[in-house]
Structure 1
Amino acid sequence: MVNPVTELYNKESLAEGSPLPTIMGEVEKDPKLAGWTGSYLPRPLFVERREIEAFADDVLALFDVVTSLPERLFDGDLDAYCAALSIDDGRKQLITRLGGTTPPRYGRADMYHDGTSFKLLEIGIASEVGGADRAGEIPRALLEAAPFAEFAQANGLGFTHTGQSVATALTEAGAAVADGRDPVVALLEGPGGLADYASHWNTFRDVMRGFGLDFHVAEIGDLTFPGGKPHLGGRPVDVILRCFTVEEIMGDPHGADLVEPVFRAHEEGSVVLFTPMESNLFANKACLALLSDPRHHDRFTGAERELIDRVLPWTRSLKGEDSLDDELIAYCRAHREELILKPNAFYGGVGVIAGWTTPEDAWLTALRAGAADGAIVQQRVVPRSEPVVDPATGRVEDWQAAWGLFYTPGGYAGAYARAVPAFESPVIGVTAYKNTRTAGVLHF
């Protein structure tokens, strides 16, 4: 089912001489987007404002439920909770170094629209999520292009600027530390991380500076700590936007030594670590299995169970409490073409195996490995088709999109999407599939 604004946009795009099919060429040249090296979908996606904001409300409500899981299901025992999520002792010590505190509402929820409603794939509680640089800037640049601006005005289009929302969140986070001055914010990658992500984070830096933030990009090893206060190039840092991951710290021989002064500075109140490593207690995909598992239904209110059932596909952990869950494995074998397997702790489509593209023997092997290493199986959600006019051929082609919904402590913070030609890849993501395109999102 295609919404009326999409139908109208494609109709106008197919008109002789229409500038709309090539409008993204202008957007690509925008100074705040030109540094990004990815590719764009030829048109933005459109969504009813009421629908996207209602789903954002559901995501935020689910955030509160997810972050309460250790207390609800394990009486606050983080050791038992981490064991259920297949988090080993070394990672647990790193993740809970600040005491297991509840992280601020910040991240990117990923979802599909199945033609009827949005369905949540991952709640994305993390500060290292990507896309915030483009989510607000693509629609902003589109609205500054005259042909699109005319269409937008005629159809009441608007958007929520993700960059502006993030800048507000970081400013507010640093207020207590900065003592009345504008806070200095440092986005920190892991050791060697800028070799892969410098262009992406530098684009984000430019967006943040556009909203008045004193914002810098570096690696965690670039910090110094005179008097215990983090400094970058001689400049005191008030907020660290953490984009180094657990795996990056664990994988570096000096990782623990690099991160410990940051933890101490956060504890002493000389810097705000945004977000703390504890976010990884709840970004783990096994959290969704804990929500979905009927054995835990009595720990949720009726309204919470209704919320879970409404937004979350059937999800189960492959890790049995004591041994291989033969009954679950048998179910997964019988329903292979309806299920997808996802490792608990990875992101960006790493390790994801779609049952409908996997031979039976390989699927069984993957299930057994997932049970040993920590993985979930989830009901397949087929994303609706998004018809797009190809600017080169003039033909309408079907694409499928994964939507990314951003949220901050202030609430809903905008959205963007990644899209692939329909049914060309079981995983939709820039790092997972080379033909993935990025799309802006506007509401009506």
Structure 2
Amino acid sequence: MSADRVAAQYNEEFRTPGSDLPTVARHVKDFPTLTPWRGGYLERPLFVAEREIREFADDLRRLVDILCSLPDRMFGGDLEAFRSQLGINDSHWAVMRQFGVDVAPPPFGRADLYHDGTSFKLLETNLGSEAGGWALASEISRATMEVAGFADFARRNRLGYVHPIRAVAEALRRFGAPVASGRDPVVAMLEWRGGLKDYGELALNFQSALRSAGLDILVAEIGDVHERGGALHLGDTKIDVVFRTFVPDQIAEEPDGWDLAAPLLRAYRAGGTLLWTPFSSNMFANKAGMALLSDPARRRGFDEDECRLIDRILPWTRLLDADVLATDTDLVDECLARREELVLKVNARGGGVGVVVGWETDDATWRRALENTAAEGCVVQQRVKPRPELVIDPVTGKTEEWHAAYGLFYTPEGWAGGYAKVVPADTGGVISVAAHAKACSAAVFHQSDLPVWGEVPAVRTN
């Protein structure tokens, strides 16, 4: 049975009198490890084919490896030339250099993708520990499985999920082992100053979920820690691993940013406290990297298999900066002519900030957006139309169409599960929880070819 047929069967059983499937979203909302998060939840999970999602995850891992090889392949190992092409300014670059810009980032993050009805397409890689959603994804799925009616549905349809937080715990244990002396590492999730006020719910959600997976984690802000004896401390507790949620911009742009980061920098250089993940992750999470991969004119060092992989999962994406705007009139004309097929994204921003949707603007507004945003550095990307997800409103009984942005998590061990952010289909071209009052989260279950169901390992051997 295909994922679409599973969804259709779910909706049919959802309408059956006496079914407890309509209680799933309420149960998820009241789940203990999710109570710090006040967001909404879709009335049903989403379904994908396990083979399809695992194959995409394998492609993604290879693409991230290719992405991280770009300085050598395209710029002869010249990181200065690479960062210039990405549009990383001097102050942000100084932060990366101080913390070791030559440190290769581990493949750890959350890729954002749409399913166009035929296959998944990659929108962003979100490489680095600041990419969120791990705990939400883990606990939404776990909570959904606690509803008896859904557990039965999952068993009959061989539905499973991977628990992302367990993959995080394993990655942190392995990473922290050199400084943990045979015990679990002491991990601290560090927000920037004021971060707990703005994102405290998410931090507590992450802490609660990680503890439920067997690994404790402290939560603090950058100003709460100090360096002593070559290691970072929170009070009298030595921190083995920092799980950062802040980015180079915050260090570079605040007047006392360097003072706040100084204890971490000293401990990092001394080696007593490890940093998961390095700031070099932000260099490779820059959207301009996807444009460098997508453009055939820049692929002279790629083999045919790599080119096919890129074209298979990455939509047409092109770099647009001040130099391109001034010299490549053909590309600019193409972007103007294809307005209704394209979306503009600022290279170093996330969360839908700075996105301009071509099919929702007029010609004059689109032209201004291309000209103005090029000064900061941006990419233009082919529109991917999400397939409609049919969901029953339990109050009205009506079937509604929703659009989903899937978040696929990955660690050095590979695919680590996922979830989705969803919005009603008629509410705009950017799927963002921050930008839509009706936006919510959804569990994602995969249908296995094997007779298994429920939680499954991130890496399976058959």
TM-score range (shorter-chain normalised) is: over 0.9
Is the CA contact (8 Å cut-off) linking 2:268 and 2:275 kept in structure 1?
Answer: yes
Give the match for residue 211 of structure 1: 213
Give the match for residue 254 of structure 1: 256
Give the match for residue 90 of structure 2: 89
| Residues 1:379 and 2:371 aligned together | no
Give the match for residue 74 of structure 1: 75
Give the match for residue 341 of structure 2: 338
- Residue 257 of structure 1: how far off its partner (Å): 2.0
Any stretches of 5+ residues in structure 2 without a counterpart?
448-462
Is the CA contact (8 Å cut-off) linking 2:110 and 2:126 kept in structure 1?
Answer: yes
Give the match for residue 411 of structure 2: 408
What amino acid is aligned across from residue 80 of structure 2 in structure 1? D
What amino acid is aligned across from residue 305 of structure 1 in structure 2? C
Correspondence list, 1:62-211, <5 A:
62-97=63-98, 98-211=100-213
- Residue 265 of structure 1: how far off its partner (Å): 1.9
What amino acid is aligned across from residue 73 of structure 1 in structure 2? M
- Residue 2 of structure 1: how far off its partner (Å): 6.1
- Residue 6 of structure 1: how far off its partner (Å): 0.7
SS at match of 1:415: strand
Q: 1:290 aligns with which of 281, 289, 292?
A: 292
SS at match of 2:194: coil
Give the Cα separation in 2 of the matches to 1:18 and 1:211.
Answer: 31
Q: Once the two structures are superposed, what CA deviation does each residue of 1:2-51 show, in whole Å capped at 9, x if it has no partner? A: 62211110111122332212321011111011111111011111111111
Give the Cα separation in 2 of the matches to 1:281 and 1:190.
Answer: 19
**Structure 1 stretch displaced more, 289-298 or 114-123:** 289-298
- Residue 128 of structure 1: how far off its partner (Å): 0.6
Give the Cα separation in 1 of the matches to 2:112 and 2:374.
Answer: 24
| Residues 1:362 and 2:365 aligned together | yes
Give the Cα separation in 2 of the matches to 1:307 and 1:96.
Answer: 32
Is the CA contact (8 Å cut-off) linking 1:228 and 1:261 kept in structure 2?
Answer: no
Is the CA contact (8 Å cut-off) linking 2:191 and 2:222 kept in structure 1?
Answer: yes
- Residue 366 of structure 1: how far off its partner (Å): 0.3
Over 3 Å counting, the alpha-carbon distance change for 1:2 and 1:49 in structure 2 is: closer
Is the CA contact (8 Å cut-off) linking 2:116 and 2:386 kept in structure 1?
Answer: yes
Is the CA contact (8 Å cut-off) linking 2:22 and 2:43 kept in structure 1?
Answer: yes
Give the match for residue 316 of structure 2: 314
SS at match of 1:298: coil
SS at match of 2:23: helix
| Residues 1:39 and 2:40 aligned together | yes
So what's the TM-score if we normalise by structure 1? 0.98
Q: Once the two structures are superposed, what CA deviation does each residue of 1:360-415 show, in whole Å capped at 9, x if it has no partner? A: 11110000012211000000000000000111111111100000000111111000
Q: Once the two structures are superposed, what CA deviation does each residue of 1:327-371 show, in whole Å capped at 9, x if it has no partner? A: 212111111000000000000000000000011111100000122
Give the Cα separation in 1 of the matches to 2:252 and 2:433.
Answer: 25
Give the Cα separation in 1 of the matches to 2:105 and 2:180.
Answer: 21
So what's the TM-score if we normalise by structure 2? 0.94
| Residues 1:438 and 2:441 aligned together | yes
- Residue 323 of structure 1: how far off its partner (Å): 5.3
SS at match of 2:300: helix
**Structure 1 stretch displaced more, 262-271 or 115-124:** 262-271
- Residue 321 of structure 1: how far off its partner (Å): 4.0
**Structure 1 stretch displaced more, 320-329 or 45-54:** 320-329
- Count of aligned positions: 444
Give the match for residue 429 of structure 2: 426
SS at match of 2:416: strand
- Residue 322 of structure 1: how far off its partner (Å): 6.5
Give the Cα separation in 1 of the matches to 2:426 and 2:310.
Answer: 27
Is the CA contact (8 Å cut-off) linking 2:325 and 2:332 kept in structure 1?
Answer: no
SS at match of 1:429: coil
| Residues 1:388 and 2:355 aligned together | no
What amino acid is aligned across from residue 335 of structure 2 in structure 1? C
Is the CA contact (8 Å cut-off) linking 2:419 and 2:441 kept in structure 1?
Answer: yes
Give the match for residue 17 of structure 1: 18
Give the match for residue 348 of structure 1: 351
Give the Cα separation in 2 of the matches to 1:431 and 1:170.
Answer: 29
Give the Cα separation in 2 of the matches to 1:83 and 1:430.
Answer: 32
- Residue 150 of structure 1: how far off its partner (Å): 1.1
What amino acid is aligned across from residue 58 of structure 1 in structure 2? D
Give the match for residue 30 of structure 1: 31
What amino acid is aligned across from residue 392 of structure 1 in structure 2? V
Any stretches of 5+ residues in structure 1 without a counterpart?
none
Over 3 Å counting, the alpha-carbon distance change for 1:332 and 1:323 in structure 2 is: closer
Is the CA contact (8 Å cut-off) linking 2:207 and 2:216 kept in structure 1?
Answer: no
SS at match of 1:32: helix
Give the match for residue 304 of structure 1: 306
- Pairwise CA RMSD: 1.3
- Residue 263 of structure 1: how far off its partner (Å): 2.7
